[in-house]
Amino acid sequence: MNSTITKIEVYGVAVPLVGPGFKNAYVTKTVQKSAIVKLTDTDGFIGLGNIDPSPGYSAETIEQSLAVLKNVLAPVVQGLDPFNIHELLEKMNRTVDQFYDAKAAIEMACTDLICRRLGIPVYTYLGGEQVKECRFNAWIGILPPDEAATEAKKWFDQGFRSAKVKVGGNISADRDRIAAIREAVGPSMSLRADANAGYSVEDGIALAKLLEPFNMQLLEQPVAAEDLLGMAKVRASTSIPIMADESIIDFASLISVIKADAADIVKLKVMKQGGFLNTRRMLETAAAAGLKIVIGHGFGLGINTVAEIMLAATSPHVIEGLECVGPLKTSDDIVTQKLDLSHGSIKLPGGPGLGVELDLEKIEKYQFS
C-alpha cells in the first residue's frame, strides 16, 4: 500500500491526577507529564502515539523524550513508509541508542495509522482478540492498615477482583497493610504486592515469608532491578510467585531474567519495551519459557491505555487484571472519550486503529512544551 509519513506533530502535556496524588517507592505524583505523537500520511490518514514516563520507571525524563522525538526521531521517520515497521525501528535504533519510550510513541502511531487505513482494530492486526471483556487491577498505596482496608473494600464493591498493594520501607508495616486488606475483602480478591525494587535480598525473603498466609497472587520486584541472583533467591524461598518489572527493559534483559530463574511472571509495557512489535516478541518469548505476563503502565493517558488493552487481548498468557489503569488516576484526558474503568472491567474497545480521537482543545489546555 502506497503510504508515506508526511507530517509529524509532537506535544507535551501535563494532566492533573485525581486527589492528593499517588505515592510509591520513588515519588509522589500529582500530575502526569506525557508525550503525544500525531502522524499524517500522504492520503491524510493519521496515527496516534502516546507515552507517559514516570520517575523511577523510565530511563529518560519526559523532557528528554520530547526533545528526542522533536529534534532527532521526527526528522528520521519523515518520508518513511509507516507500514514498514522493521525499517522504521532499524533507522530509529541506528540514530539513537535507548529511548525506548520515544521510539514506542512513533511505532504506536504508525501501527494506529496502518490499522486506520486497513479499517481494522489494532488487536486484529496483532493476530486477533482472545478475550471480549477486559478486567483491570485496582491499586492501594503505602497507607496505614485501616485506610488501606477501606480503599480495598471500595474497589471490591465497585467490581474489581484484583488489586496491587504498594509495599516498602518496613516489612512489618507491609504485612499489617496486607492483612487488613485481606480481612476487608475476603478470599475472592487477588492481591499483588509491589516493592518497586526497594528491599534487600534478606528483607525481600522476610517479606515474602510474612505475606505467605494471605494467599498472594504475586510479589513484584522485591529487590534491585540488576540483582537477578538476589531475586532468584527470594523466588526460591517462597511459594508466592515473583514478578519482574524494573528488571525487564529490552529483549536481552528478559533473557537474563529467564536464564537466572529469577521470576515466575514478567511485567511488560508497550511504552517501556519500545512499541508493539518489541513487546509482542518479548511476550511470546516469556510465554515459551513458561512465564505468565502482566500488562500495563499505571499512569497512561487514553492512547497508551488502549494500546496496552489491545495488545493484552491478543494473548492467553496475559494474567487477568490489567494494570493499564491510568484513566482512573487522571482527572482528565487528551482523547475525546475518556475510558470508564470505574467498575473494574470493560468490553474490548473497537477500532479502526486504536479507536480513539485526539481532543485538540485538551491538548492546548494541558500543553507544557
Task: Average the pLDDT over 136-161 and give the result.
Answer: 96
Task: Average the pLDDT over 148-176 and give the result.
Answer: 97
Quote the DSSP letter at residue 3: -
Mind listing the pLDDT tens digit for each residue in 354-368? 999 999 999 999 999
Helix runs in the chain, H state only? 62-68, 74-77, 85-95, 100-118, 122-125, 145-158, 171-185, 201-211, 228-237, 251-259, 276-288, 302-312, 326-329, 360-366
Mind listing the pLDDT tens digit for each residue in 2-36? 899 999 999 999 999 998 767 655 567 789 999 99
- For the entire predicted model, the pTM comes to 0.96
For residue 137, the SS3 value is coil
pLDDT band at 173 (very low <50, low <70, confident <90, very high): very high
Where are the domains positioned within the chain? 5-121+359-366, 124-347
Domains 5-121+359-366 and 124-347 share a fold: no
Higher pLDDT, 141 or 269: 269
Mind listing the pLDDT tens digit for each residue in 312-328? 999 999 999 999 999 99
Active-site residues, by number, are 166, 269
Residue 70: the pLDDT is 98
Mind listing the pLDDT tens digit for each residue in 61-81? 999 999 999 999 999 999 999
Task: Average the pLDDT over 204-208 and give the result.
Answer: 98
Residue 19: the pLDDT is 81
Q: Which cell numbers hold the place of 108?
A: 504506536
Percent of the chain clearing pLDDT 70 (strictly above)? 97
Q: Which cell numbers hold the place of 27?
A: 515519588
5-121+359-366 maps to CATH 2.40.50.140: no
Query: Which CATH superfamily includes the segment(s) 124-347?
Result: Enolase-like C-terminal domain (3.20.20.120)
For residue 195, the SS3 value is coil
